[in-house]
Amino acid sequence: MAAVLILVFQDTLLSLVAGIQISSTDMVRVGDWIEMPALNADGDVIELALHTVRVQNWDKTITTIPIRKLVTESFKNWRGMQEAGGRRIKRSIYLDQTSIRFLTPEEIEKLGRFRLLENYLQRKQEELKEWNGKLGDKGSVTANTRRITNIGTFRAYVEAYVRAHPQIHQNMTILVRQLQPGPEGLPLEIYCFTKTIAWNDYEAIQSDIFDHLFALLPEFGLSVFQNPSGADFKAWQVERPALPASAKVVEA
């Protein structure tokens, strides 16, 4: 008889145990933003009941999840971000690797007028002068010396810009780094946290930072990588017109 009762009330018992676990460990609260891709849930928890959890997704649809799933399967709770008071920016600028080169003395002088680069370039030139001075006669060979590059200078500018930004959390991780290069160029990743967690303000801050950096790239002689579009092919055809119909192609 006991076995029959356990079988009949199995779901209720499992849900009750799951509810106790969730409550005692404070895993989820009403109002938490959770993500559970396996069940297409991404939004705010609006109800915690005995058997189910209801999540209002960002598209205003409702996902109903068996409460025991929150114990047996993994999910992401964004409460930690909200309590920390900082929202992460983790985005890359994809640079065309063919635009990476050494800076000329004239370019170094010009970039040295940038407030955020003044100390960096002065320190870097002193470091390289000391390094190259130890090479002796071998320093006359350009390949043996260290020189300032446009990508390294741009990376230093980006980090200084982010650290000086009034809306970026200075007590959280700030990182500007190169990622593995690939067919889409060289990714330069910016990793930092905004002081606000409000979605609209966060997106505005992130966009303003990247608007500025994209517009400033030509100052460093760098260009963004992007796949060729119709306009690119059209420009190429104008530069290299097609052979006339009467022309003959000589085969090897």
Q: pLDDT of 82-91, one tens digit each? A: 899 999 999 9
pLDDT given for residue 95 in this prediction = 97
For residue 145, what pLDDT band results from cuts at 50, 70 and 90? confident
Q: What percent of the chain has pLDDT over 90?
A: 64
pTM (two decimals): 0.80
Would the pLDDT of 252 be above 50? Answer: no
Greatest mean pLDDT among 65-69, 193-197, 236-240 lies in 193-197
pLDDT given for residue 71 in this prediction = 86
Would the pLDDT of 18 be above 90? Answer: no
121 shares its domain with 192? no
Q: Which domain holds residue 52?
A: 29-77
Say if 221 falls within a structural domain.
yes
Say if 9 falls within a structural domain.
no
For residue 105, what pLDDT band results from cuts at 50, 70 and 90? very high
Q: Which two tokens stand for residue 62?
A: 């409702």
For residue 235, what pLDDT band results from cuts at 50, 70 and 90? low
206 shares its domain with 129? no
37 shares its domain with 71? yes
Say if 243 falls within a structural domain.
no
Say if 194 falls within a structural domain.
yes
143 shares its domain with 155? no
The closest alpha carbon to 51, from 11, 10, 24, 6, belongs to 11
Q: Read off the CATH number of the domain in which 93 is found.
A: 3.30.70.100
The closest alpha carbon to 144, from 155, 159, 134, belongs to 134
142 shares its domain with 180? no
90 shares its domain with 123? no
Task: Provide the mean pLDDT of the chain.
Answer: 87
For residue 143, what pLDDT band results from cuts at 50, 70 and 90? confident
92 shares its domain with 166? yes
User: How many separate domains does the chain show?
Assistant: 3
pLDDT given for residue 236 in this prediction = 58
C-alpha span between 115 and 196 (Å, rounded): 26
Out of 12-26, 104-118, 181-195, which region has the weakest mean confidence (pLDDT)?
12-26
